[in-house]
Amino acid sequence: MFPKESTVRTLIRRWDRHYSTILGVTSATERSERIAHDLYLVRNAGFGGISPPPNLPGNLVDKDDEIMACVEHYFLTRDWVSNGKYPAWEARTLSGIYHLGKRIGVAPRHNKAKPVTPASPLQRALQLEGIKDGTIDRKLAGIQSPLVKKPPKY
């Protein structure tokens, strides 16, 4: 087990449970998309007028940015694959390129006022797990996977 992994997994379960039981989002594909979006808002609050979602319970957020990056990237890759935005092979490739970019100091920044979190084996593992879980969600939802998609712009 990686350091911080139990905290990350607890937060992933809390986000999933909050959106499924409290907000009533029953579809795993819709849930991963909404959570990925809202985590982006949480992690970039204050940048370019971004506000975190209203009425978000405090137990969904940790002060450690590496932990929140792991949670966000899990749901981001799960969303990408489960909703057919990217095929699993391409999501794995993009994740690998992103982590290589972090290690050599050229990773793109979404938020110019906040540096990217350092490369982390835990973050990489959670991205790959999000891809695996997204593949299951996509198949269960009957969503087609594209052969290839244009990479995202930052």
Q: Give the angle 31-17-7 at the CA atoms, nearest 5°.
A: 105
- Higher pLDDT: 109 or 126? It is 126
- Tell me what percent of the residues of the chain surpass a pLDDT of 90: 80
Residues ≥6 apart with Cβ < 8 Å to 94: 86, 151, 152
Sketch the domain layout of the chain as residue ranges: 5-141
pLDDT at 48 over 90: no
Q: Coil, strand or helix: which one is 120?
A: coil
Burial of 12: CB neighbours in 10 Å, binned 0-12, 13-18, 19+: buried
pLDDT at 27 over 90: yes
- Are 152 and 77 a contacting pair, CB within 8 Å? no
Residues ≥6 apart with Cβ < 8 Å to 72: 36, 39, 40, 42, 43
What does the pLDDT read at residue 107? 84
Tell me the whole-structure pTM to 2 decimals: 0.94
77-120 pLDDT, tens digit per residue, is 999 999 999 999 999 999 999 999 999 989 877 788 888 899 99
8-18 pLDDT, tens digit per residue, is 999 999 999 99
pLDDT at 154 over 70: no
